[in-house]
Amino acid sequence: MATPPSNDPSSSEGKLLRFGLFEVDLAAGELRKNGRRIRLQEQPFQVLVALLENAGRVVTRDDLRQRIWPLDTFVDFDHSLNTAVNKIRESLGDSASNPRFVETLARRGYRFIAPIDNATAPVHTAAAGVVPIADAPAASGLAAAQDNPARAGQSEEVALHPELHVPVPRRGAMRALFALIQVMYLAFYLSALYYLHGVERIAATFLSGWKVLLLVGVVLVTGAVGIPLRFYLISAVAFDFRKLGVNFRRLFPFVLALDQLWAIAPFLLLPQIGLGLAFAACAALLYVPFSERTLVRLAYL
């Protein structure tokens, strides 16, 4: 049985619950990622708070019904709860099949499985010219950093990605790099389809018979399939589609196979660039799909 919620208003005043790159401000009723507010409706937010307050423990569906949907509320409880949990997962970039935050226990309920840090939001008293005692070390550190800017970077705590264990980069830069890779592949497909006769002519210099037709067919089919795929990925990252991380993990085996096939594209330019440069470009393109996956994981936790 989950722990019942506290009725003391002061118990949640200024309290922050942090997990990964996210934090929940109980006083403000907000979910944030890297300080940026994520819109989450009231009922999904209440379900998330209930799971966070009982992290590591099973919160049954009946517990959630008693807490959020009173008996006199005339709603389809099962549908409402499933919708709320789906909205939570969408906001967190989580997956029911491979959960990192909210785990489903069939016919029982849900459990929050990520580690949580409890903190208290600082009280801003700068207008009164008073620095709280608890913040005095931070204030002195700030003064020291202003006196010696070279030490400022050393005194700051660097936020690490919870899975990759690297400093969290700017999402905008990761999204831009990912989009540029998609544009590169889109240019490959369009160029190859536009110069399809040229591809056939070049392939005939080192292949013969049905092998030339097979190569041209592969270029034609994979290019035609790859164009809508790249348009989808470009539009998803341009509109900051929150489920891109989950969807790309599902698409990755197909993307990997497609990109590995197109890694041989530099050999179609063999007369122009030479054998050595063709091998180097091919090796770089073999690594690109793994770079795509890393960029998506950095941008869409």
* pLDDT by position in tens, the chain (length 301): 454 444 443 444 558 888 888 999 988 888 998 888 888 888 889 999 999 999 889 999 888 888 887 666 556 777 888 888 888 988 888 888 788 899 988 878 899 998 888 765 554 433 334 434 344 344 444 444 444 444 444 434 455 565 666 776 787 888 999 999 999 999 988 888 887 887 777 777 777 778 878 888 888 898 899 999 999 999 999 998 878 888 898 999 999 999 998 888 887 777 777 888 888 989 999 999 999 999 988 887 6
Within-domain flag for 260: yes
**Cα-based angle 56, 57, 60 (whole degrees, multiple of 5):** 140
Would strands 109-112 and 36-38 be described as parallel, antiparallel, or unpaired? unpaired
Residues contacting 286, CB < 8 A, separation 6+? 260, 263
- Segments forming the whole domain that contains residue 253: 171-299
Q: How many domains does the chain have?
A: 2
* Predicted TM-score of the model (pTM): 0.52
Amino acid sitting at position 288: V
Q: Are 168 and 34 in contact (CB under 8 A)?
A: yes
Q: Are 245 and 300 in contact (CB under 8 A)?
A: yes
For residue 41, which phi and psi values (nearest 5 degrees)? Answer: -65, 165
Residue 290 shares a structural domain with residue 175: yes
Within-domain flag for 137: no
Residue 109 shares a structural domain with residue 179: no
Within-domain flag for 2: no
> Could you tell me what percentage of the chain is helix, strand and coil, using 3-state DSSP and rounding each to the nearest 5?
60, 10, 30
